[in-house]
Chains A and B, each alone.
Chain A
């Protein structure tokens, strides 16, 4: 039987576009539900007041600050470590068994469920290194979780920089380090930033690993060794223990909005980089 090629084309186009709309639709539905349910309870008091009665009343100020500290601290550890590994693998070593082993290790790390990281962080950082349930334990655990994403995306971004640009830099008398910092990294920066954004997203929404290592104290963390409760953990506890669904949705809304804000900020930085290095 001969099938009309025009019909096939339009059928494929329609079904593909349907899939795309469906995906976006689900995303909008989730965000929409959180917006509708959360927005009545979102106000300045909620953002800047301490929680009362286990979170039934009051705000989530310590959780916002705790989340911020945790993410910044994790990035502080994970970015140099991940970027350094990626630079080593791409610029400072040749493909060998050793690099394959590192790469395999990185990929395996990416596949481990977060609760396992949590358990490891609990045993190693909290107990063995006696850091207790603290910002530091949480951040170090999240660092290990973020590393695979940062390393992989940074590696891909660095590899995508044409070899010829490196040769130009060398021919002008640059060392390998100068070439890496002045030519390779600026060109790879948008890709590297994307990886960092993805890992922030993972850290900010993490619950299992964070409960195990940073705990769930409702106090405002003021030192590296203080326990604290991130927004994601707060949301989880509010919803799981039936404390207050209203406050839970409002917390989720703040979480979603902050991820959105981070993405807009990153997009802005990326645009600036692209306009400077193109």
Chain B
């Protein structure tokens, strides 16, 4: 399997404070890679570099290279708007747009100029199925998305991201406010999706990383401490900090 994302010596400063201190990391295609680490470890910042949402922050300095398919996404030639169509994001809090379930999923395709109602319906159905939500909402696609439960809303957000047809999906602590059943449904969906997508799952929950990912990276105060096959990290970590963290001694 090849590497989808290559990060070379990435440094990020927020208001002159280093948040990422030189990260070098290759992320494999069609795998789920977990990012874990205590608050302030820089894992969410790394995510926001990958989708260039960091552009909306002020007082940021970025140094280093990030390649997606050998294309430097930090170069001035890259349009963040088109990059974000390739790198989808699911946020920590479920954030449905205030409109119907159907219109939430159709939002991205409509931006791409798809007007054909039948095609839109197919995309919506397909993406809701992939996000394991279809059966629960197929009879009320045109009711407000805000009426769904938190877990359903988060799966809707996943479906909405899928509808843009990204190559990479970033999930920034997507299950932090969800119950175990909803969490399991999202993990189930991700496991199916990795055949077609490269997935990065940020989580504070080490058990989720152990369960749901193929590779895991442990970040601590802006440094990448350890990175490797998830099973290896959880059974035989090389670094004592990793071991302490996954055993719940800190974080």
Contact = CB atoms under 8 A, between A and B. Distances in A.
Interface of A: 164-165, 167-175, 178, 182-183, 186-187, 276-278
Given A167-B53, A168-B91, A173 B97 contact: no
B239 to A, nearest CB: 33
B98 A278 contact: yes
A174 B51 CA distance: 13
Interface residues of B, number: 25
23 contacts: A165-B98, A167-B53, A168-B97, A169-B97, A170-B53, A170-B56, A171-B51, A171-B91, A171-B161, A172-B84, A172-B85, A172-B107, A172-B160, A172-B164, A173-B85, A173-B108, A173-B111, A174-B81, A174-B111, A182-B111, A183-B97, A278-B99, A278-B144
Interface in B4-55: 51, 53
A165 B97 CA distance: 6
B89 interface: yes
B84 A173 contact: yes
A188 to B, nearest CB: 11
A164 B95 contact: yes
Query: Could you say which of B56, B88, B97 has the most chain A C-beta atoms within 10 Å of its C-beta?
Result: B97
Contacts of A183: 97
A186 B103 CA distance: 13
Interface string B84-112: 11001101010101110000000110011
A170 B98 contact: no
Nearest to B83: A173
A266 to B, nearest CB: 20
Given A164-B93, A172-B84, 4 more contacts: A168-B157, A172-B107, A173-B81, A278-B144
A173 B162 CA distance: 12
Contacts of A171: 51, 53, 84, 88-89, 91, 161
Contacts of B88: 171-172
A95 to B, nearest CB: 11
Nearest to B100: A276
B82 interface: yes
A187 B98 contact: yes
Contact of B95 (A168, A173, A182, A187): A168
B189 interface: no
Query: Could you say which of B81, B93, B146, B157 has the most chain A C-beta atoms within 10 Å of its C-beta?
Result: B81
What are the 9 tightest A-B residue pairs by CB atom distance, in nearest-first order? A173-B85, A171-B89, A173-B84, A172-B108, A168-B95, A277-B98, A278-B98, A164-B95, A175-B81
Contacts of A186: 98-99
Nearest to B157: A168
A173 B97 CA distance: 15
A274 B146 CA distance: 13
Contacts of A164: 91, 93, 95
A173 B112 CA distance: 9
Interface string B186-226: 00000000000000000000000000000000000000000
Contacts of A172: 84-85, 88, 107-108, 111, 160-161, 164
Contacts of A169: 97, 107
Contacts of B97: 165, 168-169, 183
A173 B164 contact: yes
Nearest to B163: A172
A169 B89 CA distance: 10
Contacts of B111: 172-174, 178, 182
Nearest to B144: A278
Nearest to B108: A172
Contact of B107 (A167, A182, A278): A182
A169 B144 CA distance: 17
A174 to B, nearest CB: 5
A168 B53 CA distance: 10
A175 B56 CA distance: 13
B99 A276 contact: yes
B138 to A, nearest CB: 21
Nearest to A276: B99
Contacts of B144: 278
A186 B107 CA distance: 14
Nearest to B52: A170
A261 to B, nearest CB: 29
A165 B95 contact: yes
A98 to B, nearest CB: 17
A277 to B, nearest CB: 5
A167 B89 CA distance: 10
A173 B161 contact: no
Interface in B119-148: 144, 146
A81 B164 CA distance: 34
